C-alpha cells in the first residue's frame, strides 16, 4: 500500500509513520516529491490493515495498490526517474544513445567502435565481456580482459560503459570496471542476481526476458529497487512470437505501457529485436516515437568478422548516419540529446 502524506507533513511525521510500519515487520520506502511525500509500504496485508495509518499525524490518505509491483510504479512516484551515470542522464526528457559491439573481442575492435560511436554523438559504450550464448561451444567472451579493454575505451573517449553480468560470483570483478550493469534477457528472472545488484550502488540496465510479460519485467525491476538500488533502466529487446521474419518481435506497445505504468526510464534494443541491420534504423525511430528514453544498438568495425551477433550489427562506418537520424527524431519529440 501507499501512504500519501499531507503537503504540510513534517519530517518527524514521516519518520513516525515509517517507524510504526517497521514495528509490524513491514518495510517503508520514502519518496520525497516536490510537493508531497509518499511512503511505499510492503509487508503482510493483515498486519498492515490492522495499523490505523490514516489516524497518524500528517497522513493524507492510504491507497491500497492492486498491482504486484509497488516501488517501480507511477502511483508510488509520479515523476520520471532520471538515472545518472558519470554525468550522463537517462530519463526525465533526457535521451541516451548506447552503442558498441555485441562482444568485446580485441583492443582494435573496441577502440574503433568506441571512437565511431563517440564521434556520432552516442552517450555510452556497450560491449559484453561475459556473454550468454545459446551454444556452449560459441565464443563466451573475454572475461576480465574484455572489461579492461572497455575501461581503456572509457579512458580515451569518456563514455561510460554498459556491460553484462551473468553470475553473482562475477559481480566484484564486473563492478571494478562497469558503469552500468546489464542484466540480460535470459537472466531477467534470476532473482538472486537481481537482489544482489539491488544491493549495489551501480545503475542496472534490465532487459526484458524473451517470453516475459510487462508485469513480470516490472516485477524483476521491483526485485532490484526493493533492495535499495533505484537506478534501473528498463530495456525492451524483442520477445519470442510466431513471427520468423525478424529474430524477435519488438514490442513497442510494451514500451508505451512501461512508460505509463512505471517511472523508470525505458530504452529500446532494435538490434536483438530484429537481428537485421536494415531494420535497426526504422525500429529505432519507432522506439523513439513510442516514448523510449534511449536506444541500445550493436555496431562493429567489421560485422562479417564479429565473434557474436555480426549479422545484426551496424557497420561502424555507417553508425554516424544512423545516429544522426535517431538523435534528430529524439530532439523533434522534445527530448534533450546532449
Q: 230 vs 272, which CB is nearer to ligand PEP?
A: 272
Q: Which residue ranges make up the site for ligand PEP (CB under 6 A)?
A: 102, 128, 132, 184-186, 207, 237, 272
Q: 40 vs 287, which CB is nearer to ligand PEP?
A: 287
Minimum separation from the CB atom of position 189 to ligand PEP (A): 12
Quote the CA–CA distance of 73 and 68 in Å, as a whole number: 10
Residue 184 interacts with, from ligand PEP, Mn ion, none (CB under 5-8 Å by kind): ligand PEP
Q: 73 vs 313, which CB is nearer to Mn ion?
A: 313
Minimum separation from the CB atom of position 197 to ligand PEP (A): 15
Is residue 309 left, alpha or beta, with left meaning phi > 0 and alpha meaning psi from -120 to 50? left
Q: 102 vs 330, which CB is nearer to Mn ion?
A: 102
- Does 309 participate in binding Mn ion (rule CB under 5 A)? yes
Give me the torsion for CA of 329, 330, 331, 333, rounded to 10°: 80
Quote the CA–CA distance of 56 and 6 in Å, as a whole number: 11
Minimum separation from the CB atom of position 309 to Mn ion (A): 4
Quote the CA–CA distance of 241 and 247 in Å, as a whole number: 9
Minimum separation from the CB atom of position 218 to ligand PEP (A): 17
- Does 102 participate in binding Mn ion (rule CB under 5 A)? yes
Minimum separation from the CB atom of position 10 to ligand PEP (A): 46
Using an 8 Å Cβ cutoff, are 127 and 104 in contact?
Answer: yes
| Strands, E assignment, 184-269 | 204-207, 232-236, 266-268
Q: Which residue is nearest to ligand PEP (CB)?
A: 184
Tell me the window of 67-75, 189-197, 251-259, 303-311 that interacts with Mn ion (CB under 5 A): 303-311
For 82-107, give one letter per residue: b (16+ CB within 10 A) or e: ebebeebbbbbebbbbbbbbbbbbee
Q: Where does this chain bind Mn ion (CB under 5 A)?
A: 102, 309
Amino acid at each position: 500500500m501507499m501512504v500519501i502524506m499531507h503537503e504540510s507533513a513534517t519530517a518527524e511525521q514521516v519518520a513516525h509513520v515509517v517507524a510504526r510500519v517497521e514495528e509490524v515487520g513491514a518495510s517503508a520506502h520514502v519518496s520525497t516529491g516536490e510537493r508531497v511525500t509518499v511512503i511505499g509500504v510492503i509487508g503482510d496485508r493483515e498486519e498492515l490493515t490492522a495499523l490505523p495509518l490514516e489516524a497518524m499525524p500528517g497522513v493524507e490518505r492510504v491507497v491500497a495498490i492492486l498491482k504486484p509491483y509497488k516501488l517501480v510504479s507511477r502511483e508510488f512516484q509520479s515523476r520520471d526517474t532520471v538515472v545518472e551515470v558519470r554525468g550522463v542522464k537517462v530519463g526525465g526528457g533526457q535521451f541516451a544513445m548506447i552503442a558498441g559491439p555485441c562482444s568485446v573481442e580485441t583492443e582494435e575492435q573496441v577502440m574503433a567502435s568506441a571512437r565511431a560511436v563517440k564521434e556520432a554523438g552516442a552517450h555510452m559504450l556497450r560491449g559484453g565481456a561475459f556473454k550468454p550464448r545459446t551454444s556452449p561451444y560459441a565464443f563466451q567472451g573475454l572475461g576480465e580482459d574484455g572489461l579492461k579493454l572497455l575501461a581503456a575505451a572509457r579512458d580515451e573517449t569518456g563514455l561510460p560503459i554498459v556491460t553484462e553480468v551473468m553470475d553473482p560470483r562475477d559481480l566484484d570483478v564486473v563492478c571494478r570496471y562497469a558503469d552500468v550493469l546489464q542484466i540480460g534477457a535470459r537472466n531477467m528472472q534470476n532473482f538472486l542476481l537481481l537482489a544482489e545488484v539491488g544491493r549495489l550502488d551501480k545503475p542496472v540496465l534490465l532487459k526484458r526476458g524473451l517470453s516475459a510479460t510487462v508485469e513480470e519485467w516490472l516485477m524483476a525491476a521491483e526485485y532490484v529497487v526493493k533492495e535499495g538500488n533505484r537506478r534501473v533502466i528498463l530495456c525492451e529487446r524483442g520477445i519470442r512470437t510466431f513471427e520468423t521474419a525478424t529474430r524477435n518481435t519488438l514490442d513497442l506497445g510494451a514500451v508505451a505501457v512501461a512508460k505509463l505504468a512505471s517511472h523508470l526510464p525505458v530504452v529500446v534494443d532494435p538490434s536483438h529485436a530484429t537481428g537485421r541491420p536494415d531494420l535497426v534504423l526504422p525500429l529505432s525511430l519507432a522506439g523513439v516515437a513510442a516514448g523510449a528514453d534511449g536506444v541500445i544498438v550493436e555496431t562493429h568495425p567489421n560485422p562479417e568478422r564479429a565473434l557474436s551477433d555480426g549479422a545484426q550489427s551496424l557497420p561502424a562506418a555507417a553508425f554516424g548516419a544512423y545516429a544522426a537520424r535517431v538523435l534528430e527524431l529524439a530532439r523533434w519529440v522534445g527530448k534533450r540529446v546532449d
